[in-house]
Amino acid sequence: MRFAAALFLVAACSIVEPVKVDVTCETTKEGLDCTVRQAAGKAEAEACWDFIITCANNAVVKSPHMCQKVKNGGSAKTSVTRDKLTNIENCGGDKPPTAKVENLTIDGKQPGSVTPH
């Protein structure tokens, strides 16, 4: 079963410079693949998040808390195998599921919660 991809643009300010990070997650047959891309800024930044899928039958599937570092405007991937997705076996229904990123932080801070110096 393949779920719709979710794209989240997040802006946060690091102490040195503003950092903007794109997090894109997509389910695959093997599990979940997420790509983190640094859209603005060059300083190393660590983005962390939870990925949540709500199935048509209202079953909720969750990934483990995920983190990935990026720097110099680059991108990086992180994956989770299907057996690490909780409740995936109960996901069903005749409509597409919805997916979202929750609890997103950059360098341990909620986006927008750090004032640059």
Residue pLDDT tens, the chain, 117 long: 444 444 444 444 444 568 888 898 998 889 999 999 998 888 899 999 999 999 999 999 999 999 999 999 999 999 999 999 999 999 999 999 999 988 988 888 876 544 333
Can you give the pLDDT at residue 16? Answer: 56
The pTM assigned to this predicted structure is 0.77
Can you give the pLDDT at residue 63? Answer: 95
Q: CB neighbours of 93 closer than 8 A, spacing ≥ 6? A: 55, 56, 57
Task: Look up the CATH architecture of domain 6-106.
Answer: Sandwich (2.60)
Q: Which two tokens stand for residue 102?
A: 């929750």
Q: Count of residues for the chain? A: 117
Inter-residue long-range contacts of 85-89, CB under 8 Å, 24+ positions, other chains counted: 85/31, 85/32, 85/61, 86/61, 86/62, 87/59, 87/60, 87/61, 87/62, 88/61
